[in-house]
Structure 1
């Protein structure tokens, strides 16, 4: 699409938002062209996706899949219907089918050992296999010692957060590059957690890992749109220039959304070739 003042072909992607926790109408005035909601009641977010503000593209996971009593089932901020407690493979089959029927393009699992039980390897692998049959990649909230490290082995396609509870070893970071994407969400942290996350992401990027811009919008006081603090944190972690544009995943413009940016429509978790940054 071209206009008299230039070629208008794309907008940025936030790969981690929670639209039930913000006023989504405010997205229409920002620089985002697409958002990925990683945890909302499926009917509510599907309604938003069907009639998006300002023509922004909304993809979503629907409800968190979590063990009985797992995160975020005990969180006051979690909207009604925004999680499903999974007790066995049959429950996983039903939940994944429900999310697919609602229009989900990914499945979100919670694996937060600091806040409750987490799935064992067998059940989490079963969820990944079920989701794969439905054509849905699995994204994981992995928090607590060892949780991020086991996700690639179990077939998870992306981490919803850069690991922030522990510093991964260089060998662990290298093992993740080329196997799983990391969604940044650096700016939500302060102090030691932020330092750990920035350090982990810096080394993951240096090993050629696939980084995706995401803010966890709805978590704390953040701008509803492109977050300069997240962009600055990515630069601090060494994700700059063309690498930063790749992390932001510009998408094609529509009649409603016009941007003077290079565009590419892509699977947001398609892994990039591993090229080490020196």
Structure 2
């Protein structure tokens, strides 16, 4: 056993690390005995990408990535459920040497008839449900719940087609809440980020990038919703707007979650350096950045990562913790 410092999702703590019965490193939440030799480096769990589209990438690459958890925010429910089973270890196609990953998912986008992204070529078959009224919304949300979804994704992109009325958006929020689901909104177009949060969306799939929110709007957002970053996917003008909004949102106490919109362009199936750098530009440093990355519980032996000095506060320097690291 070695004395170890690990990040529990909020702060650094002391524990011990050794090899488990399966020969893999395993962390224990207990005080090291006096004289226990220290591990060189600090431990974190695999990171979380809160916005991915696994049908648009080679999801098998997750097994060798530094991601311990991903949240799919728009895909065919049955297909994404199969991907989730594969990475959890339930599938016989997953190699025994692969660490399991958690895949949570929203299932299909909910959008009005003709709304975004129903007319997008990149949207896989079954990944969009066009909702005309609250009865249709209830049916679809029941179906998504049965398919194992853990959130509801609503598209509200006024630049690319119709958006839900206030009344129908509120109804979707209420129907989702009856299942215990938060509503994650893709908000795009003037005023949409403010509107969907006031109507009950608890998370924005993208830090607002259409327009600069004023400080009063930022303060309201910080109290009512969290933001998934996706700062690096934009062109320079939209990126500057999103980073400015995210910086003021973070400074106001808002919760920023690391997310890349993986599959939107040539994004890596791993930690994305461009997104990490953009979050640092927005003022998230060291522990704040780690909180945004929401590492999985390091006491669960899946996807343990090691941060070595002198870059032990830089997630981009993380690599898998191996049995060789535990040799004294």
* Correspondences of 1:98-137 after superposition (within 5 Å): 98-137=143-182
CA shift in 2, pair 1:246/1:256, >3 Å? closer
User: 2:17 maps to which residue?
Assistant: 2
Quick one: distance in 1 between partners of 2:303 and 2:226?
Answer: 27
User: 2:312 maps to which residue?
Assistant: none
Quick one: distance in 2 between partners of 1:6 and 1:60?
Answer: 28
Secondary structure of residue in 1 paired with 2:223 = coil
TM-score by length of 2: 0.77
Quick one: distance in 2 between partners of 1:2 and 1:65?
Answer: 45
Question: Which residue, out of 303, 307, 314, partners 1:257?
Answer: 303
Matched, 1:69 2:69: no
User: 1:42 maps to which residue?
Assistant: 77
User: 1:267 maps to which residue?
Assistant: none
Matched, 1:226 2:249: no
CA deviation map 1:39-89 (0-9, x unaligned): 000000000111116411000000000000000000000000001000000
Structure number, greater radius of gyration = 2
Deviation at 1:6, TM superposition (A): 7.4
2:47, 2:293 within 8 Å by CA — same for their partners in 1?
yes
1:64, 1:108 within 8 Å by CA — same for their partners in 2?
yes
Secondary structure of residue in 2 paired with 1:235 = helix
Deviation at 1:9, TM superposition (A): 5.8
CA deviation map 1:134-159 (0-9, x unaligned): 01100000000000011221111100
Quick one: distance in 1 between partners of 2:256 and 2:187?
Answer: 16
1:6, 1:260 within 8 Å by CA — same for their partners in 2?
no
2:45, 2:302 within 8 Å by CA — same for their partners in 1?
no
Quick one: distance in 2 between partners of 1:129 and 1:141?
Answer: 18
Q: Which ranges of structure 2 fall in alignment gaps of 5 or more residues?
A: 1-15, 20-24, 28-42, 88-93, 308-328
Segment of structure 1 superposing worse, 90-99 or 52-61: 52-61
Matched, 1:19 2:64: no
Secondary structure of residue in 2 paired with 1:140 = strand
Quick one: distance in 2 between partners of 1:239 and 1:21?
Answer: 29
Segment of structure 1 superposing worse, 47-56 or 239-248: 47-56
User: 1:193 maps to which residue?
Assistant: 238
CA shift in 2, pair 1:135/1:6, >3 Å? closer
Say what the alpha-carbon RMSD is for the aligned residues: 1.7
Deviation at 1:255, TM superposition (A): 4.5
TM superposition outliers: structure 1 runs of 4+ over 6 Å: none
Quick one: distance in 1 between partners of 2:185 and 2:255?
Answer: 15
Q: How many residues align?
A: 262
Quick one: distance in 2 between partners of 1:252 and 1:173?
Answer: 31
Segment of structure 1 superposing worse, 94-103 or 3-12: 3-12
* Correspondences of 1:35-184 after superposition (within 5 Å): 35-52=70-87, 54=98, 55-184=100-229
